[in-house]
Amino acid sequence: MPLPDVSFTILDGQLGALNPSTGQVQAVIGCSDAGTPLVPVLVNSPSQLVNTFGYGPLVSAAAVAMADGLAPLVVVKVANNAVGTAGSVTHVGTGTSVMTTSGAPNDTYDFIVKVTRAGVIGTGAAPGFVISQDGGITFGPEIRAQTGTPPFTYLVPHTGVTLSFTHVDSDDFHVNDTYSFSTVEPSWLAADVASAVTALGVQPNEFGFIHVVGAANATQAGTIATALGSLATTFVFESLLLSARDINTGASETESAWITSIEADFASFSNTRIGVVAGYGRQSNILDPWILRRPMAWKAAGRGSGASLHDSLGRVRNGSIPGMGKDLNGVIIYHDERALPGLDAQRFITTRSHVGLPGVYFTAAPLMAPSGSDFGQWQLRRVMDLACRTARNFFVNEINDSVRLDPATGFILEKDARDLELRSDAALRDQLVSPGHASAATTTVSRTDNIISTSTITVNIRVIPLGYLRFISVTIGFFNPALTGP
């Protein structure tokens, strides 16, 4: 026989959604160059984050979340299935020194190494160069070749990349020469991410949603979705954000071709707990000075922590997305849904510009839910998850408690049924209605359950959500009061 407990059936399709015509703390899953895989850690500061997990996309994304949202975070490292790689080096200039790279990069970077002075190693006029990790937007301090003999090597701090020059003397190392290359971050296995999701379900710290760092396709999303669905059966009600892949600029993929590709990939994927963020943008980071091209899912997760859980990501009143920068061409985001629409209608979370407003914004917060679902928007999923946690916390305290029965019917006494309803309503009001997450929430206890025979009481809870002004229709014109008469 099963253990006494509270079971849940979460209704969908109750809001009449039309086809198209807690938890503020987030959990973060991803790859890094330190830390123990599949062990969730409650992280309260950037220094603890680096000391525990080193560097890599997991750490960078968590740092963005700390800057944009609210610490603490629950952070889980997953193993690197494929190590990071560095592309070929392009040398522009007249010097004959050859630069090569070695090591496994721990993140995605666009390196430019620029020679600032030629000279002789170990002298006052030692050779020097500066390094950019963001494609030339920002350069770090000058590095001087004070010691060593050819080849001269330099380990770029916190990146896992070592640079090696055949010579750095005046004859071969010419001022203003540049050496550029890009790196690709390590990647995870979807099965490992699923294991990390499972690990989050049994650790003691509460959290409101999960952010998986790293690009995912629909097949990987399906594997992760299975683990996420299992959490709900253990009363851990959570949603999850994923990133769609970036535009493949190295293969000269156009933005339109990228849109078509990811739409086709996710066309048959459906889930009421997963949101997929499409698009990358230039973002700053509290851990370093670079303005790097990063998934906008990082910013979605940050805003999801920092704003109220009932707020849409696209709520303009919350302001433009913070911590954004520009590339050398002045571009902030590499997909503007206003300029090239389509992904929002295909259930992707996107970013956009607004005419007359500075900065960039989220378009909305769709989940990969089927058409007509009540959970087509992330904020509705989060409010329902909070309602489930609240109801669970209330009714678990009623397990094995007694109620009086009406002698005439054998059903629950009306006074006891009403007592349950009032106390449940109070809990829902405190957690959902008073903070402004929902318009109303009511509890109805069945009066016709045969409790003596089944030891079961049936409870129905209904939550009236907030309304969201996604479309505003305005009629405007001039008015001449002189034409209306006295």
Mean pLDDT by 10 residues, the chain (486 residues): 59 44 76 97 94 97 88 93 96 94 96 92 82 97 79 93 89 93 97 98 91 98 97 92 95 96 98 98 92 97 92 96 96 98 97 97 97 95 95 96 95 97 98 97 97 96 96 94 79
- Contact between 344 and 312 under an 8 Å Cβ cutoff? The reply is no
pLDDT number for residue 312: 96
431 burial type by CB count under 10 A (0-12 exposed, 13-18 middle, 19+ buried): buried
What CATH class is the domain 26-81+187-362?
alpha beta
pLDDT digits (tens, 9 = 90+) for 304-352: 998 999 999 999 999 999 999 999 999 999 999 999 999 999 999 999 9
- Contact between 28 and 75 under an 8 Å Cβ cutoff? The reply is yes
pLDDT number for residue 57: 97
Three-point CA angle 137, 103, 61, nearest 5°: 50
Q: What length does the chain have? A: 486
pLDDT number for residue 291: 96
| Residue of 322, 271, 298, 341 lying closest to 60 (CA atoms) | 298
Tokens at residue 240, please?
Answer: 């999850």
| Residue of 378, 308, 347, 235 lying closest to 69 (CA atoms) | 308
Give me the residue label for tokens 């087509």: 376
User: Which residues have a Cβ under 8 Å from the Cβ of 187 and sit 6 or more positions away?
Assistant: 31, 80, 81, 82, 214, 215
pTM above 0.85, yes or no: yes
pLDDT number for residue 484: 78
d(CA 122, CA 126): 6
Longest dimension (CA), the chain: 105
pLDDT number for residue 11: 56
- Contact between 365 and 324 under an 8 Å Cβ cutoff? The reply is no
d(CA 17, CA 395): 30
DSSP category for residue 316: G
